[in-house]
Amino acid sequence: MNWAATETKHMQFALEQAARSAARGEVPVGAVVVAEDNVVAAAHNRSVSDADPAGHAEVLALRAAAGKLGNHRLTNATLYVTREPCVMCVGAIAQARVGRVVFGAYDKKAGALGSVEDLTASRALNHRFEVNGGLLAEECGALLKDFFASRR
């Protein structure tokens, strides 16, 4: 499988996770952690369901991956997430030492990887990671747009 197809496959899996969030009345965000070309963990938003302010898909996926790998450092991992991570999630990504983040939809209200803030440029973070945004942005954005439209 070629690189572009592999990237797309992982983001499509993250979209499936996001759809699970929407079905539960949660903001539809999904995340997948990949290490050595294998999906290590996947999660979707569960803040409301779990009454957990840190129940974002990224944090939950990172926790699950660290548990499965037996290491809180995910240096060779890539995190695929359907929406640009927020400040909290970027902090978790940096703490986990994730090597790369690929996200779908840009978040013009709370995105911390370039839209509102670019925490990768912050001296406050002692870990640098690669960021690629916009993969399947239309599909990821449509899921969010449809979810919020249905709630208005």
Q: Is 34 helix (H, G, I), strand (E, B) or coil?
A: strand
pLDDT tens digits, one per residue of 28-47: 999 999 999 999 999 999 99
What's the CA gap between 72 and 28, in Å, rounded? Answer: 26
pLDDT tens digits, one per residue of 64-95: 999 999 999 999 999 999 999 999 999 999 99
The interaxial angle of helices 3-23 and 57-69, nearest 10 deg, is: 120
Q: Phi-psi region for residue 114, left (φ > 0), alpha (ψ -120 to 50) or beta?
A: left
List 58, 84, 117, 130, catalytic entry: 58
Rounded mean pLDDT, 111-139: 94
Q: Residue 26 catalytic?
A: no
Closest CA to 102 of 127, 121, 118, 82: 82
